[in-house]
Chains A and B, each alone.
Chain A
C-alpha cells in the first residue's frame, strides 16, 4: 500500500520469534489493565509461555503504570531486562520509556500529535498510531474514548506481532460473557487497530509470535487467587483481615470462591465467616480465637501488618494455638514502596514477637505452590499447634504466572492434629490417666488439646501466655518454664520432618561434582534456573537448592556441607535468608555469599549471572573454584 511507513533502513532491526519483551506504559485508572491482560492471555492461548508483570504506583488514578510481558518459547518465566517493544500511551513517562527500548526495538505511540523531537532516537523504530484521533472519530462519549483506546492498540499489536485475531475475539467473548451488548463494540475496536496497522506497516514485524503447543494443560493465574482458593479447599471457615496491598486479593479470592462453593444448599447460609477487622491486631486475634475454638482460620497481610501482629504471634506460639497467616511481602520498611516486590520479612516473620519465639514459614514460588503450600499450612498448623506463615511476595501474589493446574486428592482428609473428643477423654480417665494439655506423652513436643465445650467434666484447661505446668496450671517455677520451652524446641525438630523438603536442582554436568551451589527461595526460582542454564552453557556448573520451609530440612544442612561456596539469593538488602541459615544451622558465614536484589523489581537472570560471574572470576576466588572453568 502506498501510505505504508517503512521503518528506516539504516536502523538495526531486532529479529525474533516468540522470544521478546513488550512493555505497556499507561496511566492508572484508565482501563488499560484489562486490555493488557487480554494481550498476555492471547499469547498464552497461542500456546506460547508468557509472563506478565504489573508495575504500578501506590495510587488510584493518574500516575504512570507499566505492564511488562515476557514471551519465551524456551519457557523462561523470570523478568528479562531490555525492552523489544514499548507501547507508550503515557506522555508523562515518555522520556524514560523511550530510553528503555533496546537498539533495534520498536516504539509504538499515539501519533495524533507529532512526537516530541526529544524522544527521537536513531537506533529504534517508531510506529505511530493516531489512537486519540481514531477514538474521536468513532466515539462521542469521553469514557468510551478512553476505554476503547486500549482495545485499539491491542488490535494494532495483533497485526504487528502476528497474534491470531480470532484468539482475541474469543477472549472478548469470554470477558463479556453475560454482557452480550459489549462484545461487538470491543471486537470492532480491535478491528480498528488491526486494520490501521495492516494498512500502514509491514505486518507482521521481524519480532513476532507464532502458534506453538508449549503451554499444554498449564494455567495462568495469580498467587493470591491460588492462595484464597486453597483456603476454601483446605477447610478454612473463618477469615479475618485488614486491607493492605498486596495481600487484599487473597481474601477477595477466598470470598469469591467461598460465596460460590460454601453456601448451605438448604438454608442459603454461609459455611464460612469473613470479618474485615479494625486493624491487624484484631485480625490475628480473631484468627487465634477461632483456631483455639477448633475452626480453621486465617488472615492475610503484608509487612506493616506483621509488625502489628507480632505480640499475638508470640502468644500463639507460647500458648500453642494454630493460625495461618499469609504474608504477601512488599518492599519496606514502613510503607516503603508498597506496590513493589521484595522478600524483606524473612527475619521479622521467623522470629516475630518477644521472648524465645520461632515460627514456621513456607515459601511458595508459583501459584501452584501457593495452592499446595497454603493447603499444607492448614494441616501443619493443626498438627504442630503453632502459627504457620506462608510467604509469597507481591510479584507472585499479584501477577499472573504460568503454572501446573491445581489438583485435589479427594481421598485426603484434613489432618486436625492431636485433638481429643469426649469419648477419648472418657477412655483416658478409664485407664486412670489424667489429661494434661501440655503433657508431651508422645515425645515429639506436640501435646493433645481439646476444643471448648467438648466434655462436661473433663478436658477443660486454661490457655495463657504466662508459664504453666504440663496440666496447664499457672506456674512461675523456673524449672517448669525451662521444661516447657525446651519442649517447644522439640516441636520445632518435629516440624522439620513434616514440612516440605527443599527442591534439589543439580548442575547439568552429571559426571562431575560441583563445588559451587546456590540457595534460593520464592520468586527467585524462575530467574535462578535461567541463570544456571546460561552459566552451564558457558561451562559454569552450579548446583541449586530451593528452600520451601523454615525450620530448615536436613537436606539444607547437607547441601551447605557438600559445597565450598554457596550463593544465597535474597530479594532484600541484608541477605535475610543467609542470616537465618547462619544463625539456625551454624553455617560458616564466609561460605555463604550474599546475592542480592532489592530495587523493588523482580530479580532477573542477567543480574544473578552477573553477580555470580563477578564473584567467581575475580582473581581472589579463581583458584578455589577449579571445577567451574569458563566454557568460552
Chain B
C-alpha cells in the first residue's frame, strides 16, 4: 500500500514569513496505529518548522528502524529523507552533515534504536557534538516488533504478554548530559505546547540538541505500571519551565514579565524565555540538571522541559576545522592538486 496525501491547498491557509503554508511541511499519510504518540511528534515538528519559516528542502531527515523511525515519511515531504538501518541513524547523519553543513539535520529514533542496538552510536554522536536535532520517540518498548521490552522500560513494569522487567532502565537524558550534550530536553508527545518551542530552540542550537520525547505506544505499552503511558505521564509530569522561543530576527518584546522568567540567548541571537515552575532550576548548570533529573526519577516523577543548554557550543565542524563551504559543493578545481604536484610527489618515492 502506498499513502500520499491529496495535493489540495486551501486558499486561505495562513502563510509563514517565506510564503509556505503548514501543508508544505506535511508528509505522506501515517500508517502508524491510531493514537500513536509518534504521530503527535510528527505534527509538532511540522508546526515547529512552519513557525520557524525553515525552507523544507533545507532539512534532511534521517532515521533508524522502528515505528518511530518510519515517521520521517509522514512530515516534510519536500525534504530528502533517509530511513537507514537499525540503531545507525547517528553515523549516517554524521556523514551527511560533514558533506553539507548548511542543511538542518533532524534525526528520529526510538528507544530500542537508540538505547539498545544503537547505544554506541548515540554515545559517540553526543561526544562529537554533531549539529543536529536528535529526537528519541521513547515508548519504553519495541513497537515495530510487537511489544518486547526495551532498555528504557521501567523496573517492575509488566508488558502485554505479562513479563515483568527486572533490569535497570537507561535514562538517555542523563546519559546525554554525562556525555557532554550541549542541549538536552525531555518532553511528552501529548504536550504540543511544550514540545513545539523545545523543537524550535533545538533547531536553532548549533550543536547536538537532544529531545527525549515520551511517546506512549497505545498498542503495546499503555499499561498500568509503565511510566511511558499517557495516564502516568499526565499525572507525574513536572516541567522545569513554561517555554517560549523567539527567533533571532524578531525584535525581542517585553511581553514577558521580568523576574518570573529567565532568558537564554542562543548563539545565533535567538532567545528562549523560560517561566520557571521549579524554583532555582538553572538550565545552564549541567550538574544541577543531572541532580534534578535523578531526584525526580527517584520519586517516580518525570522532569520535562529544557534541562540543559550550552549557549556557545563547539560543533564537529569547529572541532575538525572544516571549510565553511559545504564539502559537497567543492569541485576538482579545489580538490585536485593536479599533475605537476603529483610529479613532485613521485620524486619523494625515488
How many Å from the CB of A308 to the closest CB on chain B? Answer: 11
Tell me whether B95 and A261 are in contact (CB under 8 A). no
Q: A185 an interface residue at 8 Å Cβ cutoff? A: no
Q: 1/0 contact trace for B298-342 toward A, CB 8 Å?
A: 000000000000000000110011111001101110111111011
Residue of A219, A267, A452, A461 contacting most chain B CB atoms (<10 Å): A452
Tell me whether B332 and A413 are in contact (CB under 8 A). yes
Tell me whether A406 and B80 are in contact (CB under 8 A). no
Q: B345 an interface residue at 8 Å Cβ cutoff? A: yes
Which A residues are within 8 Å of any B CB, using their own CB? 44-45, 217, 219-221, 225, 229, 232-235, 237-238, 240, 257, 261-262, 264, 267-275, 277-279, 281-295, 297, 311-312, 315, 319, 405-410, 413-414, 450-457, 460-466, 469, 473-476
Contact A235 to B80, CB < 8 A, known contacts A289-B95, A469-B2: no
Contact A270 to B92, CB < 8 A, known contacts A452-B79, A453-B80, A469-B2: no
Q: Roughly how many angstroms separate A405 CA and B342 CA in the complex, as a whole number? A: 9
Contact A312 to B100, CB < 8 A, known contacts A270-B322, A293-B60: no
B95 touches which one: A233, A264, A285 (CB < 8 A)?
A285
Tell me whether A462 and B81 are in contact (CB under 8 A). yes
Tell me whether A290 and B95 are in contact (CB under 8 A). yes
Q: Whose C-beta in chain A lies nearest to the C-beta of B104?
A: A453
Q: Roughly how many angstroms separate A264 CA and B84 CA in the complex, as a whole number? A: 33
List residues of chain A with CB within 8 A of the CB of B225: none
Which B residues are within 8 Å of any A CB, using their own CB? 1-4, 28, 55-58, 60, 62, 72-73, 77-85, 88, 90-100, 102-103, 120-121, 123-124, 128, 316-317, 320-324, 327-328, 330-332, 334-339, 341-343, 345-346, 349-350
Tell me whether B343 and A405 are in contact (CB under 8 A). yes
List residues of chain B with CB within 8 A of the CB of A269: 321-324
Tell me whether A462 and B73 are in contact (CB under 8 A). yes
Q: Whose C-beta in chain B lies nearest to the C-beta of A480?
A: B2
How many Å from the CB of A337 to the closest CB on chain B? Answer: 28
Residue of B28, B84, B322 contacting most chain A CB atoms (<10 Å): B84
20 new A-B contacts at CB < 8 Å, known A240-B95, A257-B345, A414-B332: A217-B346, A221-B349, A232-B335, A257-B337, A271-B322, A271-B327, A274-B320, A278-B120, A281-B88, A281-B121, A284-B91, A289-B96, A290-B327, A290-B328, A452-B57, A462-B80, A463-B83, A464-B82, A465-B85, A475-B1
Residue of A281, A297, A311, A414 contacting most chain B CB atoms (<10 Å): A281
Tell me whether B99 and A294 are in contact (CB under 8 A). yes
Tell me whether B345 and A286 are in contact (CB under 8 A). no
List residues of chain B with CB within 8 A of the CB of A407: 339, 342-343
A312 touches which one: B85, B98, B328 (CB < 8 A)?
B85
How many Å from the CB of B62 to the closest CB on chain A? Answer: 7
Tell me whether A294 and B328 are in contact (CB under 8 A). yes
Tell me whether A237 and B79 are in contact (CB under 8 A). no
Tell me whether A286 and B72 are in contact (CB under 8 A). no
Tell me whether B336 and A452 are in contact (CB under 8 A). no
Q: Whose C-beta in chain B lies nearest to the C-beta of A315?
A: B85
Q: Whose C-beta in chain A lies nearest to the C-beta of B343?
A: A405
Q: Roughly how many angstroms separate A405 CA and B340 CA in the complex, as a whole number? A: 12
B323 touches which one: A271, A279, A319, A413 (CB < 8 A)?
A271
List residues of chain B with CB within 8 A of the CB of A291: 95, 99
Contact A233 to B342, CB < 8 A, known contacts A269-B321, A289-B62: yes
* Cβ-closest 10 pairs across A and B: A289-B95, A285-B91, A295-B99, A452-B80, A286-B95, A290-B95, A294-B328, A219-B349, A289-B92, A293-B99
Q: Roughly how many angstroms separate A281 CA and B83 CA in the complex, as a whole number? A: 16
B92 touches which one: A219, A235, A286 (CB < 8 A)?
A286
Contact A271 to B334, CB < 8 A, known contacts A405-B343, A456-B56: yes
List residues of chain A with CB within 8 A of the CB of B338: 408, 410
List residues of chain B with CB within 8 A of the CB of A297: 95, 99
Residue of B79, B320, B324, B349 contacting most chain A CB atoms (<10 Å): B349
B320 touches which one: A270, A286, A455, A457 (CB < 8 A)?
A270
List residues of chain B with CB within 8 A of the CB of A457: 57, 78
List residues of chain A with CB within 8 A of the CB of B334: 264, 271
Tell me whether A285 and B327 are in contact (CB under 8 A). no
Q: Roughly how many angstroms separate A476 CA and B1 CA in the complex, as a whole number? A: 7
Q: Roughly how many angstroms separate A234 CA and B331 CA in the complex, as a whole number? A: 10
List residues of chain A with CB within 8 A of the CB of B78: 456-457, 460
Q: Roughly how many angstroms separate A456 CA and B77 CA in the complex, as a whole number? A: 11
How many Å from the CB of B323 to the closest CB on chain A? Answer: 5
Q: Roughly how many angstroms separate A297 CA and B317 CA in the complex, as a whole number? A: 16
Tell me whether B92 and A285 are in contact (CB under 8 A). yes
List residues of chain A with CB within 8 A of the CB of B84: 285, 288-289, 315, 465
Q: Whose C-beta in chain B lies nearest to the C-beta of A314?
A: B85
How many Å from the CB of A402 to the closest CB on chain B? Answer: 10
How many Å from the CB of A309 to the closest CB on chain B? Answer: 11
28 CB contacts below 8 A, A to B, read A234-B336, A235-B331, A269-B324, A279-B120, A281-B91, A281-B121, A282-B88, A284-B91, A285-B95, A292-B92, A293-B60, A294-B100, A311-B85, A315-B84, A405-B346, A408-B336, A408-B339, A451-B80, A451-B328, A452-B79, A452-B96, A453-B103, A456-B78, A460-B56, A460-B57, A460-B77, A462-B72, A474-B28
Q: Roughly how many angstroms separate A364 CA and B338 CA in the complex, as a whole number? A: 22
How many Å from the CB of A21 to the closest CB on chain B? Answer: 23
How many Å from the CB of B96 to the closest CB on chain A? Answer: 4
List residues of chain B with CB within 8 A of the CB of A405: 343, 346, 349
List residues of chain B with CB within 8 A of the CB of A282: 88, 90-91, 94, 120-121, 124
A267 touches which one: B2, B324, B335, B350 (CB < 8 A)?
B324
Q: Whose C-beta in chain B lies nearest to the C-beta of A416?
A: B331
Tell me whether A289 and B82 are in contact (CB under 8 A). yes
B100 touches which one: A219, A293, A469 (CB < 8 A)?
A293
List residues of chain A with CB within 8 A of the CB of B81: 460-463
Q: Roughly how many angstroms separate A287 CA and B92 CA in the complex, as a whole number? A: 7
Tell me whether A473 and B2 are in contact (CB under 8 A). yes
Q: Roughly how many angstroms separate A394 CA and B28 CA in the complex, as a whole number? A: 49
How many Å from the CB of B5 to the closest CB on chain A? Answer: 12
B332 touches which one: A235, A261, A294, A315 (CB < 8 A)?
A235
List residues of chain A with CB within 8 A of the CB of B335: 232, 235, 237, 262, 271
How many Å from the CB of B245 to the closest CB on chain A? Answer: 24
How many Å from the CB of B218 to the closest CB on chain A? Answer: 22
List residues of chain A with CB within 8 A of the CB of B337: 232-233, 257, 261-262
Q: Roughly how many angstroms separate A264 CA and B334 CA in the complex, as a whole number? A: 8
Contact A463 to B82, CB < 8 A, known contacts A285-B91, A285-B121: yes
Tell me whether B328 and A237 are in contact (CB under 8 A). yes
How many Å from the CB of B248 to the closest CB on chain A? Answer: 21
How many Å from the CB of A195 to the closest CB on chain B? Answer: 29
Tell me whether A286 and B58 are in contact (CB under 8 A). no
Q: Roughly how many angstroms separate A418 CA and B278 CA in the complex, as a whole number? A: 56
Tell me whether B350 and A219 are in contact (CB under 8 A). yes
List residues of chain A with CB within 8 A of the CB of B332: 235, 413-414
A289 touches which one: B3, B91, B124, B339 (CB < 8 A)?
B91
